[in-house]
Amino acid sequence: MAYEVKREEVTQEQPGEEGEGFSIDLTWLKESQKALKWTDDTMLSFLAAPPYKVSGKNVIEALGKLTREQAVNFTNQINTKVENNR
């Protein structure tokens, strides 16, 4: 399945996890996790490591602690990993 790299994954209009002036599309995130074969624990470990260094009881809570800049970087990194995983 092809995933387009879109700037829209982090916007203020899309439904999803909202943080500091951004929103991450949770449908995109779940599809990306599935493509990467990542569990929620794997995603939490990724978010806990540099450059993000955020944690939470679950992925949604951790995402809410990202800054807008970190969220953009996060979506770019996940998109790159999905593309490289094909």
- pLDDT tens for each residue of 32-84: 999 999 999 999 999 999 999 999 999 999 999 999 999 999 999 999 999 99
Asked if residue 2 belongs to a domain, the reply is no
| Domain contains 63 | yes
> 4 Cβ partners below 8 Å, 6+ apart?
none
Domain count, the chain: 1
Q: Could you tell me if residue 29 is inside a domain? A: yes
70 occurs within a structural domain: yes
- Residue 19 falls within a domain, yes or no? yes
The pair of three-digit structure tokens given for residue 77, joined into one six-digit string: 């990194």
Domain assignment present for residue 45? The answer is yes
Note down the domain range covering 52.
14-84
What's the pLDDT at 23? Answer: 86
CA-to-CA distance for 14 and 37, rounded, in angstroms?
24
Residue 1 belongs to a domain: no
